[in-house]
């Protein structure tokens, strides 16, 4: 029951939570990669199966959920546009594709050469993985998937990102 109703009905004399000072949290300073660090990171990721994911995210500034929510139908090769419309997030222990919340979040971004080339190479690798997986492949239409076609879990991507940073000799923490 909301505290206001309890107070109105005489069940409590006052809201004691208002007597407590909230804890002050210090947000860690965000230190974006420099151009040199980004180049070193992407060079080190050349044979990483998530190279295209890291390239797309860094080149056009996609949020992690947006990048993981990209589907092949969002890539318009002819118009040279990447449609950002969805995000992939964990809800009640399941990965769920959902619409972006605001109109300004839904946007069309230019499919610049470095991204287009990376996505083409990634698509070829994904088709090879699909053949290798055979009947175990689960087609969901996602651009970035596991080796059997299921959506990538953000927690696993973060682990692989930090490993790639370490492998590139970068410490951004």
Determine contact, residues 48/164, Cβ cutoff 8 Å.
Answer: yes
Residue 75 within a domain:
yes
Please indicate, yes or no, if residue 71 is contained in any of the structural domains: yes
Question: Residue 72: which CATH number?
Answer: 1.10.443.10
* 3-state SS string for 68-108: HCCEHHHEECCCCEEEECEEEEEECCEEEEEECCCCCCCEE
47 domain residue, yes or no: yes
Which three-class secondary structure state does DSSP give residue 112?
coil
115 within domain boundaries: yes
Residue 22 located in a structural domain: no
Domain containing 75 equals 33-167
pLDDT tens per residue across all 173 residues of the chain: 565 777 788 888 887 777 888 888 888 887 888 999 999 999 999 889 999 999 999 998 899 999 999 999 999 999 999 999 999 999 999 999 999 988 888 999 999 999 999 999 999 999 999 999 999 999 999 999 999 999 999 999 999 999 999 999 987 76
Please indicate, yes or no, if residue 6 is contained in any of the structural domains: no
Residue 7 placed within a domain: no
In a domain, 16, yes or no: no
Domain count, the chain: 1
């Amino acid at each position: 029951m909301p505290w206001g109703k309890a107070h109105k009905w005489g069940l409590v004399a006052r809201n004691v939570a208002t007597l407590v000072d909230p804890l002050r949290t210090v947000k860690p300073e965000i230190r974006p990669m420099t151009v040199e660090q980004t180049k070193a990171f992407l060079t080190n990721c050349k044979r990483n199966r998530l190279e295209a994911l890291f390239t797309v995210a860094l080149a056009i500034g996609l949020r992690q959920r947006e990048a993981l929510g990209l589907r092949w139908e969002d890539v318009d090769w002819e118009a040279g546009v990447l449609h950002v419309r969805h995000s992939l997030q964990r809800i009640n222990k399941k990965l769920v594709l959902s619409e972006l919340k605001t109109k300004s979040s839904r946007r069309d971004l230019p499919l610049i050469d470095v991204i287009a080339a990376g996505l083409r190479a990634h698509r070829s690798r994904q088709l090879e993985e699909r053949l290798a997986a055979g009947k175990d492949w689960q087609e969901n239409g996602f651009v970035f998937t596991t080796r059997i076609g299921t959506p990538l879990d953000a927690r696993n991507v973060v682990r692989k990102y930090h490993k790639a940073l370490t492998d590139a000799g970068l410490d951004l923490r």
